[in-house]
């Protein structure tokens, strides 16, 4: 199976003054100004007095703040935006998405980004955040239309920068996020578990990762009864757990960081069948695995000097005569027995055994990603994702990373008091509570029972993975939430180095 083209549009940089010559290279220009720009800023711009007049006639809270055309040969379309002082990363990214959307309604061509009126550090941060939105918009998601769609952005230009901007991180994060969104958007008949495993193998080969596929026969020997309970509803032997290893010049087998992703290729709900409206987009129930894979791509793009394992739990959750049922009792790879309650709570079953395997290798820390529960969406909407950890002292750091990255999270508690609701007479614990209340907390508490060696662990319930109107810098329905967040965990917080 062919991999998507993750190459970004070519990026040019024009240093120094914003002049007519530099703007002649742009078909569209995103012009980002402070909320109340000084009059002198417009003197730096060709047609500055015209742009200032247009801005005066617009409402302060309008986005775009104004739209105008320059009187140059290209008739460059200028889309203006304003940022309040100390605008958050989320606000900057959101502005970028809205401005890029306005620009790409015009003809495809070279898109310029110009940020004026901020100090140099702030300017560079804003430019990278607007660039992140442009790179997301430029990427073409899978389409099977008979007529090929043209690109929306052919090249990008950073105009009027005081010094050259390092865009490597933004480009790497875009590659990872674009891969996650591409995988999630693939139709389920084009991306089944076997095709997914093949694609992961191809990417591993091209990126220099080691690849190992644990098929159902190997998982049976490992006693992975929780994963296999979900997989047994398939009419073939397509299910597997994939392990990818990134070791940049390191001989160690121990990972600094392990990434684990839920990869339910299609989720019917199983024997407890979903209604139509709930099943329509269930090809996206593998987004956790796509995010984990996207993070590994971003890490590799930057050649980061950390050892990483990536585990993908790939299966469908089907109906049929062999599908698992309520009140079945199965044994997970760590020997714990589970009484199944609801077959649509399959994600925690597939992740349970995957977390056992990941934690047995004693990584420095585990992050897992899953479109796991509806109650997390009920609790915090699709604007945030939930985070849970067996190290409660990490809550402030996890929340701060969300604010800094623009992919915002909210911490929830887990622990023994919640496991009381999963007590069972015929097994070590129940898969979930029949009442469904607080299921995001119970699911995370359940998963915590499958972490071995006291390994530090963070679980992300991806309630922000699916937004019809887009979120932050991402305009598509599937957001790839978690790639940018985890790169901030690695590069800004260095959480994997912490003594947790």
Note if 348 is an active site residue: yes
Q: What are the φ and ψ backbone dihedral angles of 7, each rounded to 5 degrees?
A: -70, 135
CA distance 208 to 284: 27
Phi, psi dihedrals of residue 60, rounded to the nearest 5°: -65, -30
Contact partners, residue 48, CB within 8 Å, separation at least 6: 41, 42
The alpha carbons of the chain give a radius of gyration, in whole angstroms, of: 24
The three-point CA angle 192-200-353 to 5° equals 75
Is-contact 462 288, C-beta < 8 A? yes
Distances (CA, A) of 142 to 148, 178, 191, 231, 264: 11, 11, 11, 27, 19
DSSP H helical ranges for 268-328: 276-279, 287-301
Instruction: Name the catalytic one among 154, 274, 360, 397.
Output: 274
336 is a catalytic site residue? no
Q: Which two tokens stand for residue 58?
A: 């617009």
- Six token digits for residue 455: 């390994």
The side-by-side arrangement of strands in the sheet containing 66-69 is: 10-15, 153-161, 109-115, 28-34, 77-83, 66-69
Active-site residue, selected from the candidate residues 348, 430, 477, 484: 348
Residues forming the active site: 274, 348
């Amino acid at each position: 199976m062919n991999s998507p083209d993750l190459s970004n549009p070519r990026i040019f940089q024009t240093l120094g003054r914003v002049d007519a010559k530099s703007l002649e290279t742009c078909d569209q220009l995103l012009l980002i100004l402070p909320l109340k720009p000084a009059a002198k800023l417009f003197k730096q711009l060709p047609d500055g007095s015209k742009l200032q007049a247009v801005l005066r006639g617009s409402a302060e809270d309008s986005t775009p703040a104004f739209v105008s055309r320059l009187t140059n040969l290209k008739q460059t379309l200028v889309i203006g935006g304003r940022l309040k002082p100390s605008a958050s990363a989320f606000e900057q990214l959101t502005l970028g998405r809205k401005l890029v959307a306005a620009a790409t309604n015009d003809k495809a061509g070279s898109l310029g980004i110009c940020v004026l009126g901020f100090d140099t550090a702030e300017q560079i941060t804003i430019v990278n955040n607007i660039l992140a939105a442009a790179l997301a918009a430029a990427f073409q998601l899978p389409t099977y239309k008979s007529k090929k769609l043209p690109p929306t952005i052919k090249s990008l230009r950073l105009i009027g920068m005081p010094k050259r901007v390092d865009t490597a991180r933004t480009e790497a994060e875009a590659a990872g996020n674009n891969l996650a969104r591409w995988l999630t958007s693939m139709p389920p008949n084009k991306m089944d578990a076997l095709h997914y495993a093949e694609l992961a193998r191809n990417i591993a080969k091209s990126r220099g990762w080691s690849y190992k596929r644990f098929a159902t026969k190997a998982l049976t020997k490992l006693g992975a009864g929780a994963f296999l309970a979900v997989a047994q509803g398939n009419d073939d032997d397509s299910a597997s757990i994939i392990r990818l290893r990134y070791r940049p010049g390191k001989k160690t087998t121990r990972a600094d960081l392990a990434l684990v992703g839920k990869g339910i290729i299609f989720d019917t709900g199983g024997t407890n069948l979903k209604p139509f409206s709930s099943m329509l987009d269930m090809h996206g129930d593998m987004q956790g695995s796509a995010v984990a894979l996207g993070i590994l791509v971003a890490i590799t793009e930057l050649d980061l000097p950390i050892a990483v394992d990536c585990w993908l739990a790939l299966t469908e959750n089907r109906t049929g005569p062999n599908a698992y049922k309520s009140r079945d009792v199965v044994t997970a790879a760590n020997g714990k027995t589970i009484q199944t309650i609801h077959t649509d709570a399959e994600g925690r079953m597939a992740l349970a055994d995957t977390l056992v395997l990941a934690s047995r290798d004693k990584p420095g820390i585990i992050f897992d990603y899953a479109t796991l529960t509806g109650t997390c969406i009920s609790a915090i909407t699709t604007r945030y994702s939930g985070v849970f950890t067996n190290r409660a002292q990490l809550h402030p750091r996890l929340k701060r990373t969300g604010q800094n990255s623009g992919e915002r999270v909210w911490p929830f508690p887990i622990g023994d008091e919640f496991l009381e609701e999963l007590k069972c007479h015929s097994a070590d614990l129940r898969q979930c509570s029949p009442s469904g209340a607080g299921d995001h907390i119970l699911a995370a508490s359940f998963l915590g029972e499958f972490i071995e060696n006291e390994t530090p662990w963070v679980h992300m319930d991806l309630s922000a993975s699916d937004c019809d109107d887009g979120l932050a810098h991402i305009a598509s329905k599937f957001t790839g939430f978690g790639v940018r967040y985890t790169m901030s965990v690695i590069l800004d917080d260095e959480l994997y180095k912490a003594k947790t």
